[in-house]
Homo-oligomer: A and B are copies of this chain.
Amino acid sequence: MVTLAQFGAGRIGKIHAANIQRNPRATLKYVVDVDPKAAEALAAASGASVADADRVLADGAVDGVIIASSTDTHKALAEAACRAGKAVFCEKPVDLDSVRVREVVKAVEKSGVLFFVAFNRRFDPSFSALHQALRAGRIGKVEQVIITSRDPGPPPASYVKVSGGLFRDMMIHDLDMARWLLAEEPTEVYAVGSCLVDPAIGKLGDVDTAAVTLKTASGAICQITNSRRAVYGYDQRIEVFGAGGMLRAANRTDTTVEVADGTGVIRDKPMYFFLERYAEAYRIELDHFLGCLESGARPLTGVEDGLRSLLLADAATESAKAGRPVKV
């Protein structure tokens, strides 16, 4: 049985705590949060105790920590956990500044702890099955990757302000998917962005609509399209084209019901947002982390994956501003 502590009792923290509770291989001992009420509520719901970071890290019974607090606290917590020899399950992004992420990379290397960066999409059953078919050679060598990623609605300005911008906050997931599917590092990034959804986002110097083109040394090409608002729900699709065919993963829906009437044949729109669409992915990534902890295996996404995706997001941010492709 793995004993865990969790930093962060917000939206994503609740997901992880519930999954720990449901998982027969793990138990949640502590919940830490700057908001005592939130910490207490989640601790009560999870059979855990409220504690502060020091107590958590000093407790020898704690095998690992879930870092699901606000992004600006990730680095210090991650480094402290490394020093305390705790395995780390860290929500993305590790940090918004690549210099600081490199410091975490060093701390991880020095400590030798298990460090998992929670790129949840890799654990979605459909994306994961697509990746498996790809690696099994189902469509031969990858030539083109097309990633569609649209949120149902834009975040509030307060969030956008501290988000690091669309490329680091939202597209970073797609950049990680691109690296994973291409199985080769992109060497060039070209990005265009527009503010078409919410003028408040533009006033903050950010974009809400974007397209990125990645190219690898071998000539494979990836196109990513992002929007902060899709009225029909969370649009999460992947297409990989290769010498021997094409693999696609479509959106998921709540039901398979369709109604035919005088206007057409109507099916469900995609599931609403990430909590719904990636509910299984969150459960599976926890299992993956626990498995690595038990077996000593390398996690599918380590701190260096967090760094590399951030470097791509930085390059995209720079490209969109400068209006030219950027080498990575």
Which A residues fall within an 8 A CB radius of B? 22, 125-126, 129-130, 133, 138-139, 141, 143-144, 146, 148, 150, 188, 190, 192, 194-197, 209-211, 213, 215, 219-221, 223, 225, 227, 229-232, 235, 241, 243-252, 254-270, 323-325
Contact = CB atoms under 8 A, between A and B. Distances in A.
B194 A221 contact: yes
Contacts of A220: 194, 196
A245 B260 contact: yes
Contact of A148 (B146, B229, B243): B146
Contacts of A188: 192, 323
Given A194-B215, A194-B221, A231-B245, 11 more contacts: A139-B259, A144-B209, A146-B148, A188-B323, A192-B215, A223-B225, A229-B243, A232-B264, A247-B258, A264-B267, A324-B325
B225 A146 contact: yes
Nearest to A253: B265
A143 B268 CA distance: 23
A259 B138 contact: yes
A235 B113 CA distance: 47
A190 B192 CA distance: 10
Ordered nearest first, which 3 A-B pairs have the shortest CB separation?
A: A194-B219, A245-B261, A232-B260
A243 B227 CA distance: 10
A264 B249 CA distance: 15
A101 B268 CA distance: 40
A126 B255 contact: yes
A133 B230 CA distance: 18
Contacts of A248: 257-260
A25 to B, nearest CB: 13
A263 B325 CA distance: 39
A68 B153 CA distance: 45
B221 A209 contact: yes
Nearest to A229: B243
A150 B257 CA distance: 19
A148 B260 CA distance: 15
Given A324-B324, A325-B190, A126 B249 contact: no
B194 A255 contact: no
Contacts of A262: 231-232, 245, 269
A244 B235 CA distance: 14
A237 to B, nearest CB: 9
A267 to B, nearest CB: 5
